[in-house]
A and B are shown apart, each in its own frame.
Chain A
Amino acid sequence: MDDLFNPPAGAWQRVSPQLASVRRIVIVATAVVGAFAGAALLLLLDVPKPYVIGLVVGVAVAAAWGWTWAGSNQRSWGYVENDDSLVVTSGVMFKRLVAVPYGRMQFVDVSAGPIDRAFGIATVTLHTASTETAADIPGLRAAEATRLRNRLTELGESHGAGV
């Protein structure tokens, strides 16, 4: 089924490619630190060199996979503001689409870590009374994140209903 994850109307709004950059930085940094620390530890423990090289190669391969994952995952994110619900999609292998009626939103969070801020992106999270909703949109440009938050807040008030 090709159209299972198509937007209900219009086209998906995509998230910033900076999301991939941020994730790649985190992945590379973790890999470098991990490889160095692991190699140093193994050398200290007198583990034969081939194993140490194996570890470093393994980490490098994992990091390379993470590099491509960051790209495809970033491209998979999309959202659409419908008349009465926000629809978010994500995932490459395991795809997900969640639709949250504006009237059901309890509150909206905007969060951004230090690296996110350096790249000017933020994550918007929608909360309903259900914990399963788990609708977050990472990698939004800061201005877009604020706009979306305000817009959702506005819509939530006008559509508001009790739990």
Chain B
Amino acid sequence: MAPESEVQVAEALGQRTHPATGLIQGALWAVAGVAATASSIGSRDVIWSALAVPLGLVLGMGVGFLQWGFTRYVIDGTELRITSGVLSKNSRRIPYERLQSVDITEPLVARVFGLAELRIEMAGGDKSRTSLKFLKLSDAQELRSLLLLRAHGEDPQSLDALDHTGTVLAAVPSERIAIGTLLSLDFLFAVIGAVALVVIGVWFDRFLAILGGLIPTAFWLVQIVSKRVVAQWGFTLTRTSRGLRIERGLLSRTSQTVPFDRVQGIAVEEPFVWRFFGWMRLEVDVAGYAAQDDEGGESISTLLPISDPRLALQVIDELIPGNAFNTEPLAYAPRRSAWFAPVGWRYRALAVNDASLLTRAGWIQHTRNIVPHQKTQSVAISQGPLQRWLGLATLDVHTPKGPVDAEARNFYAAVVRREAFAQLDRAHAARQRTPVIPHDSETNTPLGGPR
């Protein structure tokens, strides 16, 4: 692959996606049709299920082919433009400096054909995600590299210098993911619940009666397994020049890049059973990911599904250098806060160092929330009547919507007051230290300016 041809491909006007798009869309619809009808396996629905396959295939192929025919994408010096729509035309412009992340997913059907979908994330509300489907995997990877380069304000002349590879930080063994899930509390609860239901059903000889409880439990189990095992299968974390790249998935593969400077916070979770083995899970806050999380239903914010502390700390250090992970807490929740949390109060602590703020909480599942000072969005103090009576208050350090929730609940009011304003100063100082790079203005639309 000569660099010129790559540039040529990328800079050409009015690119089309892969012609097989319609075919794959049809197949996806057929699968969806089967899934929709399969859940109601009544005898009368068998005909419908049988019809769903060819019907979904033909309809989906027709629609998909039409959509494909009307979809074009253009890459130029300033933006990516995608025009689509059969009846109503839709044109979307994506200025490079607004890019938050570019992900590649390969749904199973597309993967069979060696195709992939490119998902482009901009910070902002509901429709902040644009997807381009389907492209040849190599084209998608190339396009992603190009977009990420552009997002950092660099010229694609250096395209040949792009590293697709990077260094692998962690390849999480898949059996470990499976074992970790088997040992997580909600999975154990679901299994125990299912077994208990079956035992009750057999004991009282009322099997039909418990079916109403068994089916949701079974769904719950399937959901846990598909979200935590199938979706995280073959989890690989790679360091590239632009950020950390996550690749995961057994059936559908996903590849996402978390740019170093877009990390708003990290949550370190130690579920109950895992603690005995010293295992941890890392979740990450990236602006724009939360909205996607709701609709996608996948745990897209997972940074490491399961790991030992050493690796976890190494990854946290990559994203938040000099973090407060091992810093001695400066304050704990006082004994009298046991009125609010009889057991949990012992686990609440607040630590601060030069780079970040850390809060600890959680009795059954230990959670540490780490927020880099310069990413502090705002700080809040709150106090209810009972807290006032006990001389306690709650400190909240706000981060964008996501798994990170940094709060110090029911600490001494004086500590809360002092740390709230100290945190504002620390955040201010940290922002002064990290100069504002012009291209790094993502969502920071000039106030009052056009949106």
Which of B378, B400, B445 gathers the greatest number of chain A CB atoms within 10 Å? B378
**Is there a chain B Cβ closer than 8 Å to A108's Cβ?**
yes
Which of A94, A95, A130, A133 gathers the greatest number of chain B CB atoms within 10 Å? A130
**Is there a chain A Cβ closer than 8 Å to B421's Cβ?**
yes
Which residues of B sit under 8 angstroms from A149, Cβ to Cβ?
Answer: 448
**Is there a chain A Cβ closer than 8 Å to B316's Cβ?**
no
Complex contact A97–B384 (CB within 8 A): no
* Listed stretches B130-138, B160-168, B345-353, B436-444; interface member: B436-444
Which of A96, A133, A161, A163 gathers the greatest number of chain B CB atoms within 10 Å? A163
What's the Cα separation between A105 and B396 when bound, in Å?
A: 17
Which residues of B sit under 8 angstroms from A161, Cβ to Cβ?
Answer: 374, 431, 434, 436, 444
**Is there a chain A Cβ closer than 8 Å to B408's Cβ?**
no
Complex contact B413–A1 (CB within 8 A): yes
Which bracket fits the contact residues of B? Answer: 35 or more
**Is there a chain A Cβ closer than 8 Å to B159's Cβ?**
no
Residue of A nearest to B393 (CB): A4
Complex contact B399–A130 (CB within 8 A): yes
* Listed stretches A18-26, A58-66, A71-79, A150-158; interface member: A150-158
**Is there a chain B Cβ closer than 8 Å to A129's Cβ?**
yes
**Is there a chain B Cβ closer than 8 Å to A135's Cβ?**
yes
Complex contact B437–A133 (CB within 8 A): no
Which residues of A sit under 8 angstroms from B446, Cβ to Cβ?
Answer: 157, 160
Which residues of B sit under 8 angstroms from A156, Cβ to Cβ?
Answer: 447
Which residues of B sit under 8 angstroms from A132, Cβ to Cβ?
Answer: 377-378, 380, 396, 398-399, 401
**Is there a chain A Cβ closer than 8 Å to B379's Cβ?**
yes
Complex contact A157–B393 (CB within 8 A): no
Which residues of A sit under 8 angstroms from B421, Cβ to Cβ?
Answer: 8, 99
Of the candidates B262, B383, B451, which one forms a contact with A163 in the assembled complex, judged by CB atoms under 8 Å apart? B262
Of the candidates B383, B396, B420, B448, which one forms a contact with A95 in the assembled complex, judged by CB atoms under 8 Å apart? B383
The main secondary structure of chain A at its interface with chain B is mixed
Complex contact A153–B447 (CB within 8 A): yes
**Is there a chain A Cβ closer than 8 Å to B385's Cβ?**
yes
The main secondary structure of chain B at its interface with chain A is mixed
**Is there a chain B Cβ closer than 8 Å to A107's Cβ?**
yes
Which residues of B sit under 8 angstroms from A163, Cβ to Cβ?
Answer: 123, 262, 264, 287, 400, 442-444
Complex contact B393–A1 (CB within 8 A): yes
Residue of B nearest to A83 (CB): B428
Given A1-B413, A4-B413, A108-B380 contact (CB < 8 Å): no
Interface residues in A114-163 by Cβ distance below 8 A to B read 128-133, 135, 149-150, 152-153, 156-157, 160-163
Of the candidates B401, B413, B441, B448, which one forms a contact with A162 in the assembled complex, judged by CB atoms under 8 Å apart? B441
**Is there a chain A Cβ closer than 8 Å to B261's Cβ?**
yes
**Is there a chain A Cβ closer than 8 Å to B182's Cβ?**
no
Which residues of B sit under 8 angstroms from A152, Cβ to Cβ?
Answer: 447
- Seed contacts A1-B388, A130-B378, A133-B398; 16 additional CB < 8 Å A-B pairs: A3-B417, A91-B382, A94-B382, A94-B383, A95-B384, A97-B381, A97-B382, A100-B377, A105-B447, A107-B448, A108-B448, A129-B264, A132-B401, A157-B446, A163-B262, A163-B444
21 A–B contacts from the bound complex (CB under 8 Å): A1-B414, A1-B417, A8-B421, A84-B428, A93-B385, A94-B382, A94-B384, A94-B385, A96-B381, A99-B378, A101-B424, A101-B427, A108-B447, A132-B378, A133-B380, A152-B447, A160-B436, A160-B441, A160-B447, A162-B444, A163-B442
Report which B residues bind A (CB closer than 8 A). 123, 261-262, 264, 287, 374, 376-385, 388, 391, 393, 396, 398-401, 413-414, 416-417, 420-421, 424, 427-428, 431, 434, 436-437, 440-448, 451
Report which A residues bind B (CB closer than 8 A). 1, 3-5, 8, 84-85, 91, 93-101, 103-108, 128-133, 135, 149-150, 152-153, 156-157, 160-163
